[in-house]
Structure 1
Amino acid sequence: MPVISVNLQEFVKFVGTDLSITEIAEALPMLGVAWEGYHDGEFSVEVFPNRPDMLSVEGLARAFSSFIGVRPGLRRFEVESPGGRVTRVEGKVSPIRPYIGMAVILDFPMEENALLSMMQLQEKLHITHCRRRRKASIGIYDLDTIVFPITYTTKPVDFRFRPLEWDSKITLRDILLKHPKGIEYAYILEGLDRYPILLDNNGTVLSMPPIINSEDTKVTLNTTNLLIDVTGTHLKTVLEVLNIVTSSIAERGGRIGAVRILYPNKELVTPDMNPRSMVLNIKYATKLLGIDLTVKDVKMHLRKMGYEVEGKGNCDEVEVLIPCYRTDIMHQIDLVEDIAIAYGYGNFEPELPSISTIGEEDDIEKFSHVLRDLMVGFNMQEVITFYLSNEDKLFRRMEVPAEPLVKTANPKTEEYTVLRTWLLPSLMEVLSRNQHNEYPQRIFEVDDVVILDEKTDTGARTERKLAAAVCHADTGFHEIKGLVESFLKNIGIRGYKFEELEKGCFITGRAAKVLVEQDEIGYFGEIHPKVLENWGLKMPVSAMEFSVNKIYRYVKEI
């Protein structure tokens, strides 16, 4: 989780009341951050990933100011119309990095602390919410060096401009090979022959997203007007990050202005700083928290967390206005959590549940620990991936036919629409995302999948699986077969046999299923080149997957 450094004087100024470091250290963790320490006029806190709006001194102080009652309630932001501020998005960027959002801040009171805070906010957002710039990336520019309209386009690898902190113009190819930021993030643009570029009406380069800004548009201590852009592959993330950055910077002063974004087939005006609305059922909150809540109580607690609440008397529901920077609020359970924080976890009275048994770790969990230790002994690195996936990853990319599975009723994103039925697609995605790291790569996962089962009360059951994948230039069927044999020998499985397996994700003739008493407990093989191509992998992969539940059953019988 990201750790931010906060200047004490700056923090106190934005909170709006005198505070000692002791008072801050005692109260701030109650807001949901971890205190790291204080030294030489600065304190450090660890911010949980669900609160990216608190990754700056301005955002943290804003939340704390509401929490301690100095300035409770909703923060509203006025946004001036775009006027002549227009950015044209060319279709060339669609397959690479299709989305962009922009905002301007006029008459900004620039100072050194403001510049340092902007840099830190960018860095921490890039690491967390932006997924190391892959999902979104941020650029901040001196608006007075830019002439609208701006064009978001692509340029060939030999196009030249002067990147930030560089002495002369160099090609886009050389930026990825020589510039520190280019080297660090080149993997995002790997395999492309044209790269995203932002140009103003005079042909001045603003930046090469998501790599580096231009020296020509650099923000300095003399800058009074700012342009903010966020580009990315996911529009929702782009707009969320834009709101977080814009609202944080605007806490220092200045006027927010919009920019008109002209896509080939639609138009957006950004940023949209209007609050969202969500209905909260008070009985639902009362039941979850175990405390009696009135409309007045709900208003008081939610205002402490920066919301505004509309509702009167003893009504069962209230309308909650959510600030534009609270990207973590997706369901009324999130509002209930904030009520609990405002109420104070220390104020809840603990109760021992009335149970007649003593809890202990499940046998499958104990066995899973043994399997993890064994895989680590095989020089494998454990990964942990999401239960949620999508049908494209589970079936199309793996070249296997689709099968019935559990689907989410109201997915927020196309990335996560179903519950996974096997682990290998998750490992392939990990390998795909780590091609910039050195080889060989040897990874495994021991975790649950969800299988439809009409015999159960819920219509589905969880099953524990173990999967492993090896990726390097020389891997093949014999390497994964050797790993499988060593694995089975070490866990005590005897009397197994291999039979040829036909499965679309494996090369024909280089895959096998593992049988014990004619019961298939797993399979392994060499991944098909078409599957490698679907995942953008250039190295061969061999892989295996086993049912931990079945293995455990046979191990118990030994």
Structure 2
Amino acid sequence: MPVININRNDFCRLIGHEIPMKTIEERIPMLGVGWEGTEGEEFSIEVFPNRPDMLSVEGLARAFSSFMNIERGLREYKAEPAEEFLIVVQPKVMNVRPFIVSCVVKNVDLSDDLIRSVIQMQEKLHVTHCRKRKKAAIGIYDLEKISFPLTYTTEKRTFKYVPLEEKQEMSLQEILEKLPKGKDYAWILEGMNEYPILLDSRGKTLSFIPILNADENKIDNKTKNLFIEVTGTDEKTVTEVLNIIISTFGDRGAKMHKVKIKYPDTGIIYTPNTSPKMMSLEPKYVNKILGLNLRNYEIIEYLQRMGHDAVEINKENIEVTIPIYRTDIMHAMDIVEDVAIAFGYENFEAVIPNISTIGEENPLEVFASRLRSLMVGHELQEVFTFILTNKKNLFNKMNVKETEIAETANPKTEEYNVVRNWLLPSLIEILERNQHHEYPQNIFEVGDVVILNPYTDTGTETKKRLALAMCHSKTNFAEIKSIVESMMKNLGINNYKIEEAEHKSFVAGRCAKIGIDSIELGVFGEINPVVLENWKLEMPVSTAEIDIDLLQKLI
């Protein structure tokens, strides 16, 4: 999780009160951040992924000020309409990096503190919420050096401009091969024939997205007006990131102006959208979850201490207005959590659970831990992936026929709209995203998959699986077979059978199934070159997937 460094003096200036370091150390962890320590007038905190708005001194000061009852309630950020700021999105960029949002920020006092805060926030957002710039990337420019309208388009690898902190023109391909930022993020653009570019009306390059800005429009401490853009592959993420950024500048007294964006298919939109979200909250739900008996006015006060606005509609309903920077609020339970934080976890009465059983570790988890130890003994690294994915990853890229699986209702993004029914695609995706790291890359995961089962109450059944993947130049069927057999023998199983199998994800003749008696436990082998090509993998891969539930029951 990201750690950020905060200057106490700047922190206190933003709050408008002098706060002793001891008070900050005692109270700030109550907001759900980790205290890392102090050095002189600076302190460090660890920010959890659900609160990207606190990845800057401005965001942290804002949250702390509300929590300490210094300035509570909703903070609104307005952006004035301005027709002269226009971005035209070209059709050919829609299949590459389709989303762009933007804002013009004026009357900025770019002090050393603000520059340091913005750079830190941009870097930490890129690593976390932006998924290393793949889902979103931020560009900040000197407005006075730009001529509108802008064009968001793509250009060939031979296209040239002068990148940031360089003196000579370089082609896009040279930037990816020679410059540090190019090398770090080239993996995002793999497989593309043309790359995203932002140009102004004079044809001058603003940025090679999401790699590196142009040197001509960089900012310095003399800059007063900024142009900010966020591009990405996920519309929700780019919108959230822009809202976090404008709230940062808004807290410094800057004035925001909207940017007009013309899409080739959906028409014109104006960004940023500074309208806060609304959510209905039932007080009885709050009290049921927290085990309290709070009155409506108390719930409202606690919500105001967390930066929300709230009004009583009637005794059964409170309408909550959520600030634009709170990207983590998705369900009423998130609002309840804020009430609990403001109430103070230290104020909850400790109660012994009213149950007569003695807890112990689930036998399946004990067995899974044993398998983890065996995999680590084979020098495999454990990974943890999301149970949510998409059909393209599960079926198309794995070269298998689509089957009926559990799907999510009203998904927030197309990237995560189904529940996985096997683990291997998740491991292959990890390998795809880490091709810029050295080999070998040998990984495993013990994780859940969801299978449709009409005989259960939910129509689904959760199964635990073990999957492993070996990725290096010399991996083959024999290597993965030896690991699977070693696992079985270490578990004391000698009556297993290995037979040749057919599976479209694997090379014909290099695939086998393993089982006990007539019960099939899993499959392993060398990944089909078609699958490797679908995932843009250049190294051979051998994999295995074993049903842990079945295996435990059979031994």
Q: Which bracket does the TM-score occupy, shorter chain normalised? A: over 0.9
Deviations 1:177-217 (Å, cap 9, x if unpaired)? 22121121111112333221111111221111111111100
Deviations 1:277-314 (Å, cap 9, x if unpaired)? 111111111110111122211210100001111225x5
Question: 2:291 is matched with which residue?
Answer: 290
Moved more, 244-253 or 546-555: 546-555
Deviations 1:71-113 (Å, cap 9, x if unpaired)? 1110111211022110111112122211111101111122111
Q: CA separation in 1, counterparts of 2:159 and 2:420?
A: 43
Instruction: Give the residue type in structure 2 aligned to 1:260.
Output: K
Q: CA separation in 2, counterparts of 1:414 and 1:170?
A: 36
Is residue 165 from structure 1 mapped to residue 165 from structure 2 by the alignment? yes
Question: 1:299 is matched with which residue?
Answer: 300
Question: 2:355 is matched with which residue?
Answer: 355
Per-residue deviation, 1:47: 0.9
Report if the CA contact (8 A) 2:191-2:536 is conserved: no
Per-residue deviation, 1:160: 1.6
Report if the CA contact (8 A) 2:234-2:413 is conserved: no
Question: 1:135 is matched with which residue?
Answer: 135
Per-residue deviation, 1:246: 1.2
Per-residue deviation, 1:225: 0.3
Q: CA separation in 2, counterparts of 1:135 and 1:208?
A: 16
Is residue 99 from structure 1 mapped to residue 99 from structure 2 by the alignment? yes
CA RMSD for the aligned pairs?
1.4
Moved more, 15-24 or 120-129: 15-24
Q: CA separation in 1, counterparts of 2:141 and 2:214?
A: 9
Per-residue deviation, 1:447: 1.8
Moved more, 318-327 or 448-457: 448-457
Instruction: Give the residue type in structure 1 aligned to 2:361.
Output: E
Moved more, 126-135 or 202-211: 202-211
Give the secondary structure class of the aligned counterpart of 1:406.
Answer: coil
Question: 2:63 is matched with which residue?
Answer: 63
Deviations 1:249-297 (Å, cap 9, x if unpaired)? 2211121001001111122110111111111111111110111122211
Q: CA separation in 2, counterparts of 1:189 and 1:421?
A: 29
Per-residue deviation, 1:486: 2.0
Deviations 1:488-534 (Å, cap 9, x if unpaired)? 22222112222221222122222111121111111112212222222
Instruction: Give the residue type in structure 1 aligned to 2:213.
Output: N
Report if the CA contact (8 A) 2:72-2:306 is conserved: yes
Q: CA separation in 1, counterparts of 2:387 and 2:240?
A: 24
Report if the CA contact (8 A) 1:107-1:255 is conserved: yes
Question: 1:526 is matched with which residue?
Answer: 526
Is residue 325 from structure 1 mapped to residue 321 from structure 2 by the alignment? no
After superposition, residues 50-89 of structure 1 pair within 5 angstroms as 50-89=50-89
After superposition, residues 112-123 of structure 1 pair within 5 angstroms as 112-123=112-123
Report if the CA contact (8 A) 1:493-1:554 is conserved: no
Per-residue deviation, 1:477: 2.1
Give the secondary structure class of the aligned counterpart of 1:359.
Answer: coil
Question: 1:380 is matched with which residue?
Answer: 380
Report if the CA contact (8 A) 1:228-1:246 is conserved: no
Report if the CA contact (8 A) 2:161-2:214 is conserved: yes
Question: 1:46 is matched with which residue?
Answer: 46
Q: CA separation in 1, counterparts of 2:429 and 2:167?
A: 39
Q: CA separation in 2, counterparts of 1:110 and 1:468?
A: 50
Question: 2:389 is matched with which residue?
Answer: 389
Per-residue deviation, 1:159: 1.6
Q: CA separation in 1, counterparts of 2:485 and 2:397?
A: 28
Give the secondary structure class of the aligned counterpart of 1:361.
Answer: coil
Q: CA separation in 2, counterparts of 1:550 and 1:86?
A: 59
Instruction: Give the residue type in structure 2 aligned to 1:267.
Output: I
Is residue 401 from structure 1 mapped to residue 401 from structure 2 by the alignment? yes
Report if the CA contact (8 A) 2:390-2:414 is conserved: yes
Give the secondary structure class of the aligned counterpart of 2:539.
Answer: coil
Per-residue deviation, 1:538: 2.1
Moved more, 151-160 or 402-411: 402-411
Deviations 1:320-369 (Å, cap 9, x if unpaired)? 11111111111111000000001100111111112222111111111111
Report if the CA contact (8 A) 2:184-2:436 is conserved: no
Instruction: Give the residue type in structure 2 aligned to 1:190.
Output: E
Q: CA separation in 1, counterparts of 2:335 and 2:321?
A: 11
Q: CA separation in 2, counterparts of 1:496 and 1:124?
A: 49
Give the secondary structure class of the aligned counterpart of 2:405.
Answer: coil
After superposition, residues 111-260 of structure 1 pair within 5 angstroms as 111-260=111-260
Q: CA separation in 2, counterparts of 1:427 and 1:184?
A: 21
Q: CA separation in 1, counterparts of 2:38 and 2:106?
A: 34
Report if the CA contact (8 A) 1:275-1:324 is conserved: yes
Give the secondary structure class of the aligned counterpart of 1:246.
Answer: helix
Question: 2:309 is matched with which residue?
Answer: 308
Q: CA separation in 2, counterparts of 1:299 and 1:446?
A: 43
Q: CA separation in 2, counterparts of 1:501 and 1:466?
A: 19
Give the secondary structure class of the aligned counterpart of 2:248.
Answer: helix
Moved more, 429-438 or 447-456: 447-456
Question: 1:365 is matched with which residue?
Answer: 365
Per-residue deviation, 1:478: 2.4
Instruction: Give the residue type in structure 1 aligned to 2:280.
Output: V
Question: 1:12 is matched with which residue?
Answer: 12
After superposition, residues 369-518 of structure 1 pair within 5 angstroms as 369-518=369-518
Give the secondary structure class of the aligned counterpart of 1:216.
Answer: coil
Report if the CA contact (8 A) 1:67-1:305 is conserved: yes
Instruction: Give the residue type in structure 2 aligned to 1:132.
Output: K
Moved more, 520-529 or 1-10: 520-529
Give the secondary structure class of the aligned counterpart of 1:231.
Answer: strand
Q: CA separation in 2, counterparts of 1:194 and 1:95?
A: 11
Deviations 1:434-461 (Å, cap 9, x if unpaired)? 1111222211111222222333343332
Q: CA separation in 2, counterparts of 1:497 and 1:31?
A: 55
Q: CA separation in 2, counterparts of 1:457 and 1:135?
A: 36
Is residue 270 from structure 1 mapped to residue 271 from structure 2 by the alignment? yes
Q: CA separation in 2, counterparts of 1:87 and 1:460?
A: 46
Instruction: Give the residue type in structure 1 aligned to 2:13.
Output: K
Give the secondary structure class of the aligned counterpart of 2:526.
Answer: strand
Report if the CA contact (8 A) 2:496-2:516 is conserved: yes
Q: CA separation in 2, counterparts of 1:453 and 1:503?
A: 23
Per-residue deviation, 1:69: 0.9
Instruction: Give the residue type in structure 2 aligned to 1:507.
Output: V
Per-residue deviation, 1:482: 2.2
Q: CA separation in 2, counterparts of 1:136 and 1:218?
A: 20
Moved more, 449-458 or 377-386: 449-458
Question: 1:281 is matched with which residue?
Answer: 282
Q: CA separation in 2, counterparts of 1:84 and 1:276?
A: 28
Q: CA separation in 1, counterparts of 2:190 and 2:396?
A: 23
